[in-house]
Amino acid sequence: MLMSEVGVNQMSGLRHVANPNPVRVITVTSGKGGVGKTNISVNMSVALAASGQNILLMDADLGLANVDVLLGLQPAYNLSHVVNGERSLDEVMVTGPEGLRVIPASSGLKNMAELSHAEHAGLIRAFSELSFNPDVLVIDTAAGVSDSVVTFSRASHEVIVVVCDEPASITDAYATIKLLSRDHGLYRFRIVANMVRSSQEGIELYKKLVKVTNRFLDATLDYMGAVPYDEYLRKAIQKQRSVVDAYPRSKASIAFKKLAQKTDQWPTPDSASGYLEFFVERLFKSTNNGTMTTYE
């Protein structure tokens, strides 16, 4: 059977995923490393799970995975075993606090843009066979503007850009937004200011970024909120726990819960583009630079 036929058959299977409800897909990225992107992904996901939603957090940092480390998880398998066809997503998934499900990645895994057709087919099949039905899929990308960051951002409904108040972070966040908007047709970004000393500092940081993007880019930036610098967050990291779980009354924990609440106010994906098939189909297309068959 031709590989394109395999893809068509598997996409047909995805259209019969058991969960009939729209799945919101959110990518969290940053541009620069070291700004707390993964902490945002992890704690926001735990806060969403604590609200009663089914949350799936995918560690898409394919070169330097650390979601499992932050949560003190010890997965026996990871995304590389799924791509290689050795394990299913159900076998790879591990459960974190508040029932959060995590798809762990591994260091050294090839970028999604470098996967073969057979590996793509395996990934699509893995999502079609997933028994867990998430309400929200959160994707924690690698830092920078690699092909995998572009791929996951293009395949998502919402893109969150994390920035902190230092020149390199602002410059790299702008570079990420520029790349995704100019070259890949993404025009709306949610901004989270991290490690701020006051709520006003977060707003001012957002304004700095907006001032530049309004001048040079055709992109809309929405201020999602800020996470304060909090010593309890550092303590939670040392304990390999989310701060939302370890210190629920801390300033950082309260901020993460507010971020989670913000996502519930975003438009719900419509039935035509809200299933997991939407994410996987767009992922499959974008990684092949439009060379694969278009599935209707």
Q: Which of 133, 142, 75 is nearest to 102 (CA)?
A: 75
Judge whether 50 lies within some domain.
yes
Q: CA 39: distance to chain centroid?
A: 12
Judge whether 137 lies within some domain.
yes
Cα separation, 149 vs 139, whole angstroms? 10
Phi and psi at residue 220, to the nearest 5° = -105, 125
Judge whether 215 lies within some domain.
yes
> Tens digit of pLDDT for each residue in 199-240?
999 999 999 999 999 999 999 999 999 999 999 999 999 999
> Tens digit of pLDDT for each residue in 241-282?
999 999 999 999 999 999 999 998 898 776 444 445 556 665
The number of distinct structural domains making up the chain is 1
Q: What is the pLDDT along the chain (296 residues), one digit of tens a residue?
A: 443 444 434 433 443 344 456 788 899 999 888 899 999 999 999 999 999 999 999 998 766 778 999 999 999 998 888 877 888 889 999 999 999 999 998 766 666 556 666 666 666 677 777 888 899 999 998 887 877 788 888 888 899 999 999 999 999 999 999 999 999 889 999 999 999 999 999 999 999 999 999 999 999 999 999 999 999 999 999 999 999 999 999 999 999 999 999 998 898 776 444 445 556 665 665 555 544 333 33
- Domain with 127, as residue range(s), is 22-267
Judge whether 2 lies within some domain.
no
Sheet-wide strand order for 188-196:
94-95, 101-103, 55-60, 136-141, 24-29, 158-163, 188-196, 220-228
Judge whether 16 lies within some domain.
no
Judge whether 162 lies within some domain.
yes
CATH code of residue 171:
3.40.50.300
Residue in this structure with the two tokens 């799936």, named with its chain if needed: 56
Judge whether 87 lies within some domain.
yes
Judge whether 278 lies within some domain.
no
